[in-house]
Amino acid sequence: MGYLEEYKLWCEDPYFDEATRAELAAIKDDDKEIKERFFKELEFGTGGLRGIIGAGINRMNIYTVRKATQGLANYIKQAHGEDKGVAIAYDSRRMSTEFADVAALCLNANGIKAYVFPSLRPTPELSFALRELGCIAGIVVTASHNPPEYNGYKVYWEDGAQVTPPHDKNIMAEVAKIKDFHDALTMEKMDAQVAGLYNMIGSDMDDKYMAALKKQIIHPEIIKEVAEDIKIVYTPLHGTGSIPVQRVLKELGFVHVYPVPEQKMPDGEFPTVSYPNPEDPKAFALALDLAKKVDADIVLATDPDADRLGVYAKDSKTGEYVSFTGNMSGMLICEYIMRERKAVGTLPENGALVTTIVTTNMTFPIAEDYHMKLIEVLTGFKFIGEQIKLFEQDHSYEYVFGLEESYGCLAGTHSRDKDACVAVMMLCEVASWCKKNNLTLWDQMINLYEKYGYFKEGLQTITMKGLDGAEAIKGIMTKLRENPPKQIGDLKVLAMRDYENDIRTDLATGETSSTGLPKSNVLYWELDNNSWCCARPSGTEPKIKFYMGVKGSSLEDSNAQLKALTDALMAIVNA
């Protein structure tokens, strides 16, 4: 069926509600908009759905959510997991509550129990809750840090991590089998409640989650010692982090925590930011204004579903607030945990640090320093969560810490996804240790650079929306794959990894070997002088991302090297 026929069906079929048909009628003369909404189905990828909210098969709406859930329900029934049930959480975005209920009632209509949080909760708490409840799967309705017009739907499996092979591919296959929206089941909420299928998760789950977070603290005595002296500004960016983050900091004894007033309440319109992303310096404008007024030591921001953490801290020499990348804040937490756990005798001999292939290479010397196994996985925290499961199954290693460059990390195994709540808590402990030792977080970051090397990473993102954009992104990857560069600027390419074809090619010898990781549309270039770069289309947004990293002898040197590498790579891409 062509896009116009699909559009006409949605306009005329009474299965689609009146509001949906009215929204579509309003674009009847806009062929481009009709095509954008109907030229393809919103893809159920390896993590779930994410897209612009609106009517149409290429949009997030109750019908696409119900259809995806029917596919998930079919897979759960094949696994005989009906009685185990599915835990469901949602964030502050538009339609999140509605999508959560649509998913729950579709599951219920298939005889599968649903356990739904009564109000918004962080993504990592869903990961925690589904394991506490013994569920076979979990759903989080969120579009993470995307702009306000987006929402999404992430699927987790019984280990608490986002679905990985073979479950992700199997669920995708089941969703693809649903050809007719009418085949997606639903039922009345009251009937589901009476039947014991629709269940609310109680507040005791919040208490258990808080207790699990606090178990990660290494030196509560240091926090108590400096709690009156340290000042923390925090913004949840209108998302789910407000209550859990403020609660855990209060229970640990921090006295001076200043939430940004304009941003502390949940609001799916995100009225004070154009892009609710802690990676974006603009998102910190109000927080930094407040920090200057109260003379804060650190400034923290979590994204709407509270799995990413952004950080600023004061430079004691200049008095200015300095931004930290996810790599930098992750390394501060990582090195602190290893150092202090070693000091108190709780660092395991078979400990492992798990990172992604585009995370800072500072992980290598730190892991070596503390005799930890370093394991690299594909981009996506679900692959880090998968390693925790594998460690538990084969007892090969004990998970100590995991991080990815995109502002996500995890201390502990209470969650199997990145957790900004525990990251806030641990970074505030690091800041407390720094305060006790007359340091700032920035001073300690410089100490790490001096010890391990001035590693610096960058990211260039090109957004290409719509059908034409998807083709353009495909063309860029094809060009780089078929005509790989042998030199990027002044840096020689030593080897190229093509994860799509599972080949690592040594350019000096021509020898090939396996990448050792699952198939993924990613290209990675190993360069001389401890440098590297990588190309990866986003799996959730109409973007292609270019990552790069260098190691310099100083801040100035690493900044200069990174700029030169970035410019050279972009020149190749745009040629």
Place of tokens 């937490």: 333
How big, in percent rounded to 5, are the helix, strand and coil portions of the chain? 40, 20, 35
What SS3 class is residue 527? strand
DSSP per position, 348-387: -TTEEEEEETTS-TTHHHHHHHTTPEEEEE-SSHHHHHHH
Strand order in the sheet with 398-404: 373-377, 351-356, 398-404, 408-411
Do 282 and 274 form a contact (C-beta atoms < 8 A)?
A: yes
Encoded tokens for 10? 């949605």
Q: How far apart are CA 367 and CA 427, in angstroms?
A: 19
Clarify whether 554 is annotated catalytic: no
Give the number of other Cβ atoms within 10 Å of residue 512's Cβ: 14
Q: How far apart are CA 144 and CA 301, in angstroms?
A: 13
Q: How far apart are CA 271 and CA 290, in angstroms?
A: 18
DSSP per position, 12-64: H-TTS-HHHHHHHHTTTT-HHHHHHHHSSPPP--SSEEEEEBSSSTTSBSHHH
Place of tokens 């019984």: 158
Closest-CA residue to 267 (of 258, 278, 257, 276): 276
Q: How far apart are CA 38 and CA 524, in angstroms?
A: 34
What SS3 class is residue 528? coil
- The upper half-sphere exposure of residue 325, i.e. CA atoms within 13 Å in the direction of its Cβ, equals 15
Point out the catalytic residue in the list 92, 96, 127, 144. 144
Find the DSSP H helices in 355-495: 363-369, 381-394, 420-436, 441-452, 466-482
Within 8 A by CB and 6+ apart from 432, the residues are 219, 222, 223, 225, 226, 227, 230
Residues with catalytic function: 144
